[in-house]
């Protein structure tokens, strides 16, 4: 834990037997909540709640790594300079667990202990049960000192867990009399009647999708503000106000680079300079949707 704090992260550890409780939660959700097809896919196919076979796991470690709030990207399309925000957590999405794994392995190797990345555990549910985080009404989790601007990573470990921090899931007290995120959600994904959002209305669900998908007809063209992802329910949240000013910087894509990105080609087809820039932002998996998203942003600022 000292090592984790030394690296600027926060974490909690809970005994492996709570995997059964996570399973029960998920079964309860399946039985009691009306899940849309994407939620059914997540709970049935994406989650993987079995113990690793390679070593005797004794606990689950959940690590929160703080991120800046956003990055400001600029593109030049048909002579016009367009701003596209990027939630900064995307730019560290796949690397954050490697960084955490690196420093943890170095520290644990001396004690003969193991860790194994567990990307298919429900991160938010684990973080909230462990006491590390609380749910917000926007269904994103908040960690004290970080707000909701963070990446969560879970790991199986064979570290003994002398204390059991497990608790019932809770929303932030601040949500009791607040509906700011619900009102700010541009697509009506945050619902007044129930806590679980309709993730098939979340702007992110649409703008992370591949270029073969168009935005639905019901979506207001004015909603777009990011290259992908969405910041509305996080930026409006009073609990995030102390962290908003911590931006990750500005990155410019000139007219030639924008023109190449507008072709929607994969990473390996990009010239080296642009490839490095795209890779640095972990944008590779979203390249095919970028032409659609940039066109929508350009149309908006007309
Ligand atoms: C699939 C996915 C998506 C999908 C679906 C999101 C969704 N809300 O279902 C899409 C592509 C839309 C998406 C969007 C985003 N995502 Co995402 N996503 C995931 C992923 C892979 C699984 C999420 C999931 O389990 N959904 C299924 C639902 C059922 O689970 P849940 O949201 O936890 O729902 C629980 C609550 O509703 C609770 N509940 C129900 N009733 C009640 C009542 C009360 C009172 C309480 C307290 C709780 C409660 O029970 C449910 C679970 O049992 C995780 C990574 C992972 N492996 O966990 C990242 C993850 C959740 N995403 C993340 C992020 C950052 C985002 C975005 C902010 C990206 C952006 N736009 O910038 C948005 C946020 C959208 C939102 N409001 O949720 C981060 C969250 C970090 C954080 N601070 O919490 C994660 C953890 C990735 C990571 N490694 O860091 N995401
Ligand atoms: S905006 Fe208000 S209701 Fe939404 S997560 Fe933040 S405190 Fe909770
Ligand atoms: S990320 Fe955007 S679209 Fe999704 S719930 Fe939050 S405000 Fe709504």
Nearest to 156 by CA among 99, 97, 90, 95: 97
Q: Could you tell me the pLDDT band of residue 187, with boundaries at 50, 70 and 90?
A: very high
Tens digit of each residue's pLDDT (9 = 90 or more) over 120-162: 999 999 999 999 999 999 999 999 999 999 999 999 999 999 8
Q: What is the pLDDT of residue 110?
A: 86
Q: Return the percentage of the chain with pLDDT > 90, whole number.
A: 96
- φ/ψ of residue 141, rounded to 5: -105, 150
Lowest mean per-residue pLDDT among 54-58, 193-197, 276-280, 294-298: 54-58
- Residues flanking ligand 3, CB < 6 Å: 138, 185-187, 189-190, 197, 202-204, 230, 232-233
Q: Could you tell me the pLDDT band of residue 168, with boundaries at 50, 70 and 90?
A: very high
Q: What is the pLDDT of residue 203?
A: 98
Q: Which residue's alpha carbon is nearest to atom 8 within ligand 2?
A: 175
Is the pTM higher than 0.85?
Answer: yes
- Over the chain, what is the mean pLDDT? 96
Q: Say whether pLDDT at 173 is over 70.
A: yes
Using CA atoms, how far residue 166 sits from 20, 59, 65, 118, in Å, is 12, 12, 20, 18
Which atom from ligand 2 is nearest to the alpha carbon of 233? 1
Q: Which residue's alpha carbon is nearest to atom 2 within ligand 3?
A: 230
Q: Is the dihedral of CA 201, 204, 210, 212 positive or negative?
A: positive
Best of 123, 155, 195 for a ligand 1 pocket test (most atoms within 8 Å of beta carbon): 123
Best of 38, 85, 203, 240 for a ligand 3 pocket test (most atoms within 8 Å of beta carbon): 203
Q: What is the pLDDT of residue 111?
A: 86
For ligand 1, the distance from its centroid to the CA atom of residue 258, given in whole angstroms, is 31
Using CA atoms, how far residue 287 sits from 72, 104, 208, 265, 301, in Å, is 17, 32, 9, 7, 22
């Amino acid at each position: 834990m000292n090592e984790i704090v030394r690296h600027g992260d926060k974490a909690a550890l809970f005994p492996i037997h709570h995997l059964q409780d996570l399973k029960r939660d998920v079964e309860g959700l399946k039985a009691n909540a009306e899940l849309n097809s994407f939620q059914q896919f997540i709970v049935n196919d994406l989650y993987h709640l079995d113990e690793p076979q390679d070593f005797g796991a004794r606990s689950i470690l959940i690590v929160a790594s703080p991120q800046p709030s956003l990055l400001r990207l600029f593109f030049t399309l048909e002579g016009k300079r367009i701003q596209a925000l990027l939630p900064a957590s995307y730019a560290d999405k796949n690397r954050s667990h490697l960084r955490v794994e690196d420093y943890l392995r170095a520290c644990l190797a001396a004690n003969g202990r193991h860790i194994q990345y567990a990307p298919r555990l429900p991160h938010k549910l684990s973080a909230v049960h462990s006491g590390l985080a609380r749910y917000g009404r926007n269904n994103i989790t908040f960690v004290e000192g970080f707000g909701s601007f963070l990446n969560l990573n879970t790991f199986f470990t064979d570290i003994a867990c002398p204390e059991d921090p497990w608790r019932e899931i809770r929303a932030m007290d601040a949500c009791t009399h607040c509906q700011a995120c619900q009102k700010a959600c541009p697509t009506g994904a945050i619902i007044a009647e129930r806590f679980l959002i309709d993730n098939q209305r979340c702007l992110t669900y649409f703008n992370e999708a591949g270029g073969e998908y168009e935005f639905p007809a019901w979506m207001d063209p004015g909603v777009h503000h990011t290259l992908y992802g969405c910041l509305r329910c996080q930026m409006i949240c009073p609990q995030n106000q102390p962290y908003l000013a911590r931006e990750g910087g500005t990155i410019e894509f000139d007219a030639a680079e924008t023109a190449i990105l507008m072709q929607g080609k994969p990473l390996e087809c990009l010239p080296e300079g642009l490839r490095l820039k795209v890779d640095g932002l972990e944008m590779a998996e979203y390249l095919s949707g970028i032409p659609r998203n940039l066109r929508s942003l350009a149309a908006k600022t007309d």
